[in-house]
Amino acid sequence: MTVTEPHPARPAPRFVRADGPDKVTGSGRYTADLSLTGVLAAKFRYADVSHARITRLDVSAARAMPGVMSVLTAADVPDVRFGPFVQDRTLFATDVVRFEGEIIAAVAATTAEIAQRAADAIVVEFEPLPVVTDLEASLATDAPLVHGDWADYGSAEVVVRDRNDASFSSITKGDAAAAMAGADVVVSSRYVADGCHAAPIEPRAVLAQWEGDKVTIWTSTQVPFDARAGVCETLKLPANRVRIIVPHLGGGFGGKCGFHYEAHIAALARAAKRPVRLVFSRREEFLAPDRRREGMIIDITTGMRTDGTIIARSGWIAIDNGAYTADAGFFSQLAAMHVAGPYRVPNVSIEAHLVYTNHQPSGSVRAPTAPQACWALESHTDELAKAVGLEPVAFRKLNAVDTGAEGPSGQTYDEIGLQQCIDAATANAGYGQELPDDEAIGVAIGWWPSFSVPSGAYVKIDGDGSGQIITGAQECGTGAVMTLRQLAADELGMAAEDFQLVYQDTSVAPYDMGATGSQTLFNNGRAVVNAAGQIAEQLRKLAADHLEASPDDIVLADGHASVAGTPTATVSIAELAGIASGGELLIGHGSGQPPGPPPLVGSTCVGDLGMAAFVAPQFSCHAVRVKLDRDTGVARVLAVSTAHDSGTIINELGALGQVEGGVLMGIGQALTEGTTYDDQGKQRNAAMLEYKLQTCADAPPINTHFVQIATPDAGPRGAKGLAEAPNVATAAAISNALAAIIGRPVRRLPMTAERVWETLNEEAAR
């Protein structure tokens, strides 16, 4: 492991996370660990078919069972269609089911066994409808519709929709067709990626209890405020009657973003007049949630001069939206940006389609669309280098963006470190060294935006000199919320351990978007710095009065306020807090003004959903050494070297953990993780035995280097986001290593042993 020296003015010490001891000792309580007097167990009745019209629904047998306290269907809740981009979903299926995990009814009973028997006793009869699974075929004008009444749905104004195309986006700059016609070399490629799952260790759970007309919901969500908004919308409740609390969260990786089951359990609890708890089985965790990584088809064509300079790029992308749009509405534009890539391309024409199918809905899973698009683009990039006789790293150095360059959508970049990332990752990997015939080092570059959204926090100092941070930010395991203590301490001259956190409770804290989009430290960090800065001003005034000095001369450090240049003139922050608690209180509040979108020059975008330019873009380069068994097609990752430009690193230990976790997740997506379906759109590997996750035993040595460039007008201290970026380029680098060994790329993701073996033996089969 190597890291650059931390920012000299802002050291990045290692410290113990506040939630660490509870988690590693087993004393921490997750949602499934919670219980209330008289709590009931919830179970759902799922469709178990992919596309059909409900012709009969009879819940009478379930309601008559001893121990069953409530049974709900669409008839028992408000008729509300919801969705952040397209309002295409209801809490329960009404007349049509569109994927196997769709909920038809919900049951609350005295035990989980009784609830399951009651759910199984619900009678549902169906009229089969055509099952839509082929992405290209679903875009045809005569294709069966997943949503026959799609035109009647409400949607965000900027969403461009048509039949099974739920959200269309394009990026256009210059004249790609003319430039392509005049190119010296043109290369076209097609790549196909399967969908996959977030697969967090903790299956989701929800517990709801009513007190009068108010409901408290404990839930394993990454986005508590979004969950509250969803409950309010679908059950027609005001926000002051819904409280969302998140206990410890056992991972999410984006799969626990969004809202859905909180309203079902709240409605069950209200009907039963008792608290109700839902805990998913592992199979349900695979089948039911509307957040899985999207399958994609990616066509890319690039035109170049003979020296390898890129002059034009066109692309066509189809993204498997699944049955409902969830939060995937902006994925088409995000995918188009990733297929354009962090390259200087003067002429661009890329279009992307988010396609309805009868698969499980897609949604935010760590860096949505980016690993698949990067895998396709960077595999294509090695093909480009080969076509013009350039070494792959030299080709990237020639065409990758740098400080002051214009990107594919017309954005000009402030100081960035992509070129330094390429140099560091390849040097640390030993790129260019002699290797055995069955080994190679593949290289790929990637990028990811820093999501810029409003966020709020309060900071206060108690009378004993200890601090509290009250934040709406959500901790899903990344440690980003834990790092807020470090920011407050740095601002106030205290230790991170001096601060307690109050968080994950919508009735206590100000709004935050949640643990999504790598945004927590980037946005809430600014809010905490702003709030702590207000207290620092108060402390300087109090200390100045106490020490008979000017506030401008007061220095806050090591838990004390002192007069600069006069070390004996000092007073502890605890003593100042005691003075303030008798009158003025030490309280600060911050919202941290998010940076606006960068200007674009010379480009146009259809279906612009905010991803046509990347705020404070993060850049990375991964170099991966791979060994291939030619007889079996089994590939093994021997070592990974990464370099990341994520701005100033605030918490080095947490940052390293995010890179290592993202890389291991990327290895799984590259080699083993992929959802398979039968011809009726039902998952065939919805179990850990068949769905092959990477484990600690599979983890290779990972060398991490941070190119620390403080980004102006970005996150605190010039930080950018980090949690999703390490997941972007890993699969692409593995792909390029395999292509170097085989002599051609593997064009299907994941690159399983079977697919690698087939690629190895393509010539023999001809």
Residues 673-704: pLDDT tens digits?
Answer: 999 999 999 999 999 999 999 998 999 999 99
Angle at 543 between CA 538 and CA 545, to 5 degrees: 100
Angle at 566 between CA 563 and CA 567, to 5 degrees: 95
Parallel, antiparallel or unpaired: strands 554-557 and 560-563: antiparallel
Please state, in angstroms and rounded to a whole number, the distance separating the CA atoms of residues 276 and 290: 22
Whether residues 562 and 693 share a domain: the answer is no
Residues 211-237 as b/e (b if ≥16 CB within 10 A, e otherwise) read eeeebbbbbbbbbbbbbbbbbbbbbeb
Q: What domain count does the chain have? A: 3
Cα Rg of the chain, angstroms: 27
Query: Which of 310, 395, 309, 300 is closest to 349 using CA atoms?
Result: 300
**φ and ψ at residue 51, rounded to 5 degrees:** -160, 115
Q: State whether residue 750 is helix, strand or coil.
A: coil
In this prediction, residues 129-145 reach a mean pLDDT of 97
Whether residues 413 and 457 share a domain: the answer is no
Whether residues 422 and 511 share a domain: the answer is no
Whether residues 743 and 634 share a domain: the answer is yes
Final residue in a domain of this structure, among 555, 590, 625: 590
C-alpha atoms less than 13 angstroms from C-alpha of 353 in its C-beta half-sphere:
20
Please state, in angstroms and rounded to a whole number, the distance separating the CA atoms of residues 100 and 601: 45
Query: Given a cut of 80, is residue 141 above it in pLDDT?
Result: yes
Extract the tokens encoding 197.
Answer: 């799952």
Give pLDDT, residue 583: 57
Cis peptide before 750 (omega within 30 of 0): yes
Query: Given a cut of 70, is residue 77 above it in pLDDT?
Result: yes
Whether residues 442 and 459 share a domain: the answer is no
pLDDT band per the 50, 70, 90 thresholds, residue 6: very low
Residue 179 maps to a domain: no
Residue 228 maps to a domain: yes
Element (H, E) at 243: strand 242-245
Whether residues 658 and 542 share a domain: the answer is no
Please state, in angstroms and rounded to a whole number, the distance separating the CA atoms of residues 187 and 303: 7
Q: Are 473 and 483 in contact (CB under 8 A)?
A: no
**What Å distances lie between residue 623 and 424, 639, 671, CA to CA?**
10, 8, 16
Please state, in angstroms and rounded to a whole number, the distance separating the CA atoms of residues 450 and 680: 39
Whether residues 577 and 671 share a domain: the answer is no
| End-to-end Cα spacing for the chain | 45
The share of the chain scoring above pLDDT 90, in percent, equals: 90
In this prediction, residues 130-158 reach a mean pLDDT of 97
Query: Given a cut of 50, is residue 61 above it in pLDDT?
Result: yes
Query: Given a cut of 90, is residue 764 above it in pLDDT?
Result: no
Residue 345 maps to a domain: no
Q: Rounded to two decimals, what is the model's pTM? A: 0.95
Extract the tokens encoding 289.
Answer: 């949630």
Question: Residue 110 is part of a domain; what is its CATH number?
Answer: 3.90.1170.50
Q: Which residue has the tokens 């679908």?
A: 234
The share of the chain scoring above pLDDT 70, in percent, equals: 97
Query: Which of 596, 585, 619, 594 is closest to 726 using CA atoms?
Result: 619
Whether residues 629 and 707 share a domain: the answer is yes
Please state, in angstroms and rounded to a whole number, the distance separating the CA atoms of residues 238 and 222: 22
The residues near 516 (Cβ < 8 Å, ≥ 6 apart) are: 222, 223, 254, 257, 364, 451
Give pLDDT, residue 596: 86
Extract the tokens encoding 74.
Answer: 């669409």
Query: Which of 163, 100, 102, 98 is closest to 137 using CA atoms?
Result: 163
Please state, in angstroms and rounded to a whole number, the distance separating the CA atoms of residues 520 and 472: 10
Residue 23 maps to a domain: no
Residue 599 maps to a domain: no
Question: Residue 634 is part of a domain; what is its CATH number?
Answer: 3.30.365.10
| Residue 472 structural domain | 453-590
Q: Are 449 and 616 in contact (CB under 8 A)?
A: yes
The residues near 44 (Cβ < 8 Å, ≥ 6 apart) are: 103, 104, 105, 106, 107, 119, 264, 278, 284, 288
Extract the tokens encoding 748.
Answer: 């299907």
Please state, in angstroms and rounded to a whole number, the distance separating the CA atoms of residues 396 and 187: 16
Parallel, antiparallel or unpaired: strands 276-279 and 242-245: unpaired
Helix and strand numbers, DSSP H then E, in the chain: 19, 28
Give pLDDT, residue 48: 98
β-sheet bridge partners, residue 86: 155
Final residue in a domain of this structure, among 287, 307, 341: 287
Residue 210 maps to a domain: yes
Q: Are 308 and 388 in contact (CB under 8 A)?
A: yes
Whether residues 761 and 672 share a domain: the answer is yes
Q: State whether residue 169 is helix, strand or coil.
A: strand
Query: Given a cut of 80, is residue 12 above it in pLDDT?
Result: no
Angle at 529 between CA 523 and CA 531, to 5 degrees: 105
Query: Which of 42, 106, 101 is closest to 72 using CA atoms?
Result: 106
Final residue in a domain of this structure, among 241, 266, 287: 287
Please state, in angstroms and rounded to a whole number, the distance separating the CA atoms of residues 431 and 440: 9
In the 8-state DSSP scheme, what is residue 522? Answer: I
What ranges in 672-750 are assigned the alpha helix state H?
A: 730-742
Residue 247 maps to a domain: yes
- Listed in order, strand segments (DSSP E) in 386-474 are 439-448, 457-461, 467-471
pLDDT band per the 50, 70, 90 thresholds, residue 5: very low
Extract the tokens encoding 166.
Answer: 């739920």
Whether residues 447 and 458 share a domain: the answer is no
Q: State whether residue 464 is helix, strand or coil.
A: coil
Q: What is the pLDDT of residues 475-529, one digit of tens each?
A: 998 889 999 999 999 999 999 999 999 999 999 999 999 999 999 999 999 999 9
Extract the tokens encoding 519.
Answer: 């945004």
Extract the tokens encoding 150.
Answer: 């799609």
Whether residues 443 and 494 share a domain: the answer is no
Query: Given a cut of 90, is residue 39 above it in pLDDT?
Result: yes
In this prediction, residues 129-152 reach a mean pLDDT of 97
Whether residues 392 and 516 share a domain: the answer is no
Query: Given a cut of 60, is residue 188 above it in pLDDT?
Result: yes
Residue type, 630: R
In this prediction, residues 445-456 reach a mean pLDDT of 95
The residues near 102 (Cβ < 8 Å, ≥ 6 apart) are: 46, 47, 93, 323
Residue 183 maps to a domain: no
Q: What is the pLDDT of residues 272-331, one digit of tens each?
A: 999 999 999 999 999 999 999 999 999 999 999 999 999 999 999 999 999 999 999 999
pLDDT band per the 50, 70, 90 thresholds, residue 384: very high
Query: Given a cut of 70, is residue 1 above it in pLDDT?
Result: no
Mean of all residue pLDDT scores within the chain: 94
pLDDT band per the 50, 70, 90 thresholds, residue 10: very low
